[in-house]
Structure 1
């Protein structure tokens, strides 16, 4: 939780406008009337030049799109160009492999041509697009493992105009995202339990609606062609990164690899910028889906919870450390059993005045989930000031309990892992 950073005593009044200050000792003392001490934290870390430009563009696009989202959608030339660039990237990868194979077969017996062909073939196969895999070290749920949860996701997907997911991967974090895996591009939903547990049932519906909305609205970054191209370019940069070994050979290799490294970096930066506006529009559309399926109030509540996910993560770590120091195996098992409830209880104590302060800090700093998202305060405004929706999908008490029972074993496993990691 945010810790008070001033020496102002409770029960006092604002030194600037004499308004009464909040009286909660656990949170920052600030003035809602004049914003005195609203943002006492340290400035955001200064990013590199490229990341700073990316953030400025993201904020600019987010602000422009906020004002233009109600206008009819138009074909985005940058999106078309992004697909062209992505296809060119895949063509290069395939071309290396094909050229290598031809040199290896047709150049056999012609000096060094087969050797060059073998090198190109290996390089092309190494730099080929990856299709993603299921994580080996995280719980994976399939339909037979959690039929009620998958049924809820299917209902939300139908309301959003898309289909559900093939697997759900659970983690201890405070995030959620959708992606695809495998050559058949099966759909995967990642759910972080720290986020899931601090949400109300209807906010969970909004969360699932938001994530499935990325599939429903054709988010450019979630398409197979563009997503794999971004991954491939990142892989190119990894292999082309300059080595640090001493010697003339390494220096020569770094010099030779510099031009393709610059090209790869330029392509990655260009493709990222070409998809940035479309990605931000997709986030606004996904928020709209969240409001339609879960209700506008639930979508706004979800966005508020995202403001306190750092506090939720800290609460999870703190509770895990306390549990790891419990005396006796019975006490430790009890602490593990109730880890997630205690994290949720910590977040439930956050007062509305603290949420309001965090919203104002977000306006000042232009905070967003990351540089592919519009500023969170603009997303919140669009949900709360736009057309208000009632929920089209409901998660009642019986359904909530059934889903909790399906997740019980995974909750215990992730709690045990968190406590074990904290005790090391």
Structure 2
């Protein structure tokens, strides 16, 4: 439930009455005084220390709003920030080269000397480390229900239209799952393009919002997102994997004093190495994610190009109502209703909460600011679109065609309904 509360005083900056939504610390909706305040009750802890979380939040809020100001009204570009992209690519190359050197050295130590010899042990260890630290390029989610063109021809035709409209390649794999989410990515060394549509989300959206969703997700194939590039993706995972590998694990007690001292020293060494690697991972990811957020703004712009500014902004407003969407979909599904009823019930809920939407958009800037967020705050994404030239849709999904697409997915919707019913 969304509650709106009027603050106890006037804004010291402009004199307007402060407001609050969802028990958040009040702020001024006119000049956004106090919007940058750290709200520990509403935020998940990222590091566990309050002073660190406050400090990183302030850094994130400043970086997020500064990036928005720099990008507003300017071409977003598909190539992104040269400095961030270059640093991410160089880091990936160094990490991959380091793992290759580790593997080659390990193999050389294992085979270069006559057996048996003492070099075999470190050689085997180095090869094992290289295998454990190798870059991973993802694989298909086992929960993804892959669709075929014969199974859903109208859905695939719509995907083709949207991809053509924004100049993006069509995905190699299209599937659905049971999450209120959607994603596009690339898996494997061949970078097979995957598009996943969460059924609760897809079924709840209007025609314009569905086109906007496809435009945004397919836009990730051409927006230069570093998380999806073969050359830049290792920087997001390899140092983190190394930190996990060296993280000390407490073993069972026992043994003499020498063994206990050796175990303590070994764990202390592992802890230091693990923390150093983890800090390096955080620094590298936080830098790379600045460019990732720029790519999200561009994906939104591509979404507006195909669905129109109205469809793209409506989609972002729907994202702000994800909790309400989850409740409505679960309620209507248990009552035996399908996506047509999901949409009408959500339209009623959104109409009832229309006056709170501007506050939710502002609050998202506070709630979603993080050094490790791949997406900019939803409110800023919407503001970026409204500050740009208003666009008309180039692809229109009619009600009749939308019903046809839903009819193609009737088996998947029924499977989702059974899952919801069984989880009651």
Normalised by the shorter chain, which TM-score bucket? 0.7 to 0.9
1:45 aligns with 43
Q: CA deviation at 1:391?
A: 0.7
Deviations along 1:346-366, whole A, 9 cap, x unmatched? 322224462442431442452
Shift of the 16–58 alpha-carbon distance from structure 1 to 2, 3 Å rule, reads closer
Secondary structure of the residue aligned to 1:216 is coil
Q: Is residue 185 of structure 1 aligned with residue 191 of structure 2?
A: yes
For 1:58 and 1:158, the matched residues in 2 are separated by 36
More moved, 379-388 vs 225-234: 225-234
Shift of the 45–172 alpha-carbon distance from structure 1 to 2, 3 Å rule, reads same
For 1:342 and 1:251, the matched residues in 2 are separated by 61
Q: Is residue 135 of structure 1 aligned with residue 141 of structure 2?
A: yes
Shift of the 68–199 alpha-carbon distance from structure 1 to 2, 3 Å rule, reads same
1:28 aligns with none
2:35 aligns with none
Shift of the 395–342 alpha-carbon distance from structure 1 to 2, 3 Å rule, reads closer
Deviations along 1:78-99, whole A, 9 cap, x unmatched? 2211111111122222222222
Q: CA deviation at 1:286?
A: 0.9
More moved, 287-296 vs 111-120: 111-120
Question: Retained in 2: the 8 A contact 1:172–1:192?
Answer: yes
Equivalent positions of 1:267-278 (< 5 A) are: 267-278=280-291
Please give the TM-score of this superposition, normalised by the length of structure 1. 0.81
Q: CA deviation at 1:384?
A: 2.2
Secondary structure of the residue aligned to 1:399 is helix
Question: Retained in 1: the 8 A contact 2:162–2:211?
Answer: yes
More moved, 226-235 vs 123-132: 226-235
Q: Is residue 282 of structure 1 aligned with residue 323 of structure 2?
A: no
Q: CA deviation at 1:403?
A: 1.5
2:386 aligns with 384
Secondary structure of the residue aligned to 2:237 is helix
1:346 aligns with 345
Secondary structure of the residue aligned to 1:215 is coil
Deviations along 1:26-70, whole A, 9 cap, x unmatched? xxxxxxx94555453584135234665554444333322332323
Q: Which of 415, 418, 421 pairs up with 1:416?
A: 418
Secondary structure of the residue aligned to 1:129 is coil
Q: CA deviation at 1:176?
A: 1.4
Deviations along 1:239-292, whole A, 9 cap, x unmatched? 222213344365343223234313321221121122122112111111111101
Q: Which of 246, 255, 258 pairs up with 2:271?
A: 258
Secondary structure of the residue aligned to 2:367 is coil
1:223 aligns with 229
More moved, 204-213 vs 96-105: 96-105
Equivalent positions of 1:64-103 (< 5 A) are: 64-69=66-71, 70-71=73-74, 75-103=81-109
Q: CA deviation at 1:162?
A: 1.6
Shift of the 71–377 alpha-carbon distance from structure 1 to 2, 3 Å rule, reads same
Unaligned runs of 5+ in 2: 11-15, 26-40, 254-259
For 1:369 and 1:346, the matched residues in 2 are separated by 31
Question: Retained in 1: the 8 A contact 2:179–2:198?
Answer: yes
Shift of the 228–255 alpha-carbon distance from structure 1 to 2, 3 Å rule, reads same
For 1:46 and 1:264, the matched residues in 2 are separated by 23
Question: Retained in 2: the 8 A contact 1:61–1:374?
Answer: no
Shift of the 356–84 alpha-carbon distance from structure 1 to 2, 3 Å rule, reads farther
Question: Retained in 2: the 8 A contact 1:308–1:347?
Answer: no
Shift of the 251–110 alpha-carbon distance from structure 1 to 2, 3 Å rule, reads same
Q: Which of 202, 206, 225 pairs up with 1:200?
A: 206
Secondary structure of the residue aligned to 1:224 is coil
How many residues align? The count is 386
For 2:332 and 2:288, the matched residues in 1 are separated by 40
For 2:46 and 2:169, the matched residues in 1 are separated by 40
For 2:61 and 2:212, the matched residues in 1 are separated by 24
Shift of the 130–342 alpha-carbon distance from structure 1 to 2, 3 Å rule, reads same
Question: Retained in 2: the 8 A contact 1:303–1:380?
Answer: yes
Q: CA deviation at 1:388?
A: 0.7
For 2:46 and 2:202, the matched residues in 1 are separated by 33
Deviations along 1:168-216, whole A, 9 cap, x unmatched? 2322221112111122110111221222122101111111111111221
More moved, 411-420 vs 44-53: 44-53
For 1:37 and 1:44, the matched residues in 2 are separated by 13
Deviations along 1:153-173, whole A, 9 cap, x unmatched? 122112212201111232222
2:399 aligns with 397
Unaligned runs of 5+ in 1: 9-13, 18-32, 324-334
Shift of the 251–355 alpha-carbon distance from structure 1 to 2, 3 Å rule, reads farther
Question: Retained in 1: the 8 A contact 2:176–2:197?
Answer: yes
Q: Is residue 359 of structure 1 aligned with residue 358 of structure 2?
A: yes
